[in-house]
Structure 1
Amino acid sequence: MPQQTWTVVDDYFDGLLVEEDAALTAATADTLAAGLPAHQVAPNQGKLLHLLARIRGARTILEIGTLGGYSTIWLARALPEGGRLVTLEADERCADVSTANIARAGLTDVVDIRRGKAADLLPGLADGEPFDLVFIDADKPSNPVYLEWALKLTRPGSIIIGDNVVRDGAVVDGDSTDPRVQGVRRFTELIAEHPRLSATALQTVGSKGYDGFVMALVTS
């Protein structure tokens, strides 16, 4: 009953507040058709990312984990003229599907898809302009590494968002043998300890089940 209720409520608000066009619905369909993991953000979560980027006035966005490009499209559409988004994807199938989806959305000139392991690609971004927003949605055991690089690649006022941190509530289990849970726990602990970050975490329920995200502001 709870999952059914969460999904119906999501559908209600999405119908009123979230406008998915053909490019977004096709991105979802192509992601599923390609057999990619059903891990993309829900429509209302995509809209939230879009609004956060606009509220921040982001001109540069870094996404770690592209999947089929659904969240990429939401974020890229928040950019002003001349803005850019760099997204990192290790899986070649995901990179191929996202490339097609981003092209269909007319965002090829805005989005730079880089293929390979994020830990290997992130050092190559160090000489560029700092990012105003970083969205971390990739392999959870590597989240501490991604946070370290996010701090190097941002500036005061930047936002860092880590997705899927609740893990159906497993995040509270310090004895968990799941490396994804331990990666999320260490990621959150590092955020809490870092003097340059002010953060919070929110639990979410909806069509994607029970999870949540961490959001941190780079303060100095």
Structure 2
Amino acid sequence: MGEGWQAVDDYIAGKLLGADDALATTLANNEKQGLPPIDVSAVQGKMLFLLAQIAGARRILEIGTLGGYSTIWLARALPDGGELVTLELEAHHARVARENLERAGQAGKVDIRVGPAADSLAAMTGEAPFDFVFIDADKQNNAHYVEEAIRLGRPGTTIIVDNVVREGGVLDADSDDERVIGTRALFDMVSGNPRLDATAVQTVGAKKWDGFVLARVR
């Protein structure tokens, strides 16, 4: 079945996305530099692009840069004068992302901040609110990241949290996997937060069986 999921993703990408030299070069450079191949798929990247445009985002926050593949998709969605702040733990990943963003012509829109995301978020005070937040980092802290997204957002801010199904692992209340524990804590936090309207969508494709939370700040 996994091969079929990949084939359908390839079909969708071929029909609706087409070739993209900048993104292909980004993935090749990520592999060359030893980054893990955990970027969003091409069709998911285009979804992020469209959702950010639908939200009318002028300021975007991304938690988890890796090599900047999703960052490029999101930066492309910004209008002239828009800004994307992206948080990355690893200095090496951030260097690779800067190379990729420069090559893709998006570096001028993006502010990469290096260090633990919780620390970078705590230091963010007095900034203009973000219109769109994409969270794709350490799953153990997802609930905290959503709380910070609410604090740094505004009524109407869109929040996307990736990798929340984990091939069904989210159903295992007895799991000792910290990523599953963190994901279940995320669902508990979102379901009990009066400031959020939210749903989650399961996905299958190049990234196997997973899904994302889609939320809007009230």
Which bracket does the TM-score occupy, shorter chain normalised?
Answer: over 0.9
Counterpart residue identity of residue 44, structure 1: V
CA drift at 1:36: 1.0
Deviation at 1:20, TM superposition (A): 4.2
**Which residue does 2:122 correspond to in 1?**
123
Letter matched to residue 33 of structure 2: A
Give the AA of the match of 1:106: G
State the match for 2:207 in structure 1: 208
TM-score normalized by structure 1? 0.97
Whether 2:158 is the aligned partner of 1:159: answer: yes
For 1:43 and 1:106, how far apart are their aligned partners in 2?
Answer: 18
Q: 1-side partners of 2:122 and 2:104: how far apart?
A: 29
User: Percent identity of the aligned residues?
Assistant: 55
Give the corresponding residue for 2:75.
76
Measured in 2, the distance between the counterparts of 1:136 and 1:25 equals 22
Query: Shift of residue 92 of structure 1?
Result: 1.4
| Superposition CA RMSD, Å | 0.8
Kept in 2: contact 1:6–1:205 (CA 8 A): yes
Distance in 2, matches of 1:63 and 1:48, equals 15
SS at match of 1:85: strand
SS state of the match for residue 103, structure 1? helix
The list of structure 1 runs, each at least 4 consecutive aligned residues, that deviate by more than 6 angstroms after superposition, is: none
In the alignment, the residues of structure 2 paired with residue 87 and residue 98 of structure 1 have an alpha-carbon distance, to the nearest angstrom, of: 10
Amino acid at match of 2:127: G
Distance, in Å, in 2 between the alignment partners of 1:139 and 1:34 is: 21
The residue aligned with 2:101 is: 102
CA deviation map 1:44-72 (0-9, x unaligned): 00000000000000000000000010000
Give the residue type in structure 2 aligned to 1:105.
A
Count of residue correspondences? 218
* Secondary structure of the structure 2 residue equivalent to 1:191: helix
Q: The residue matched to 1:176 in structure 2 has which SS?
A: coil
| Structure-to-structure mapping, 1:30-45, within 5 angstroms | 30-45=29-44
Look up the match of 1:134.
133
State the one-letter code of the partner of 2:32.
Answer: A
Q: Which runs of 5+ in 1 are unaligned?
A: none
Offset, 1:202: 0.6
Give the TM-score, by structure 2 length: 0.98
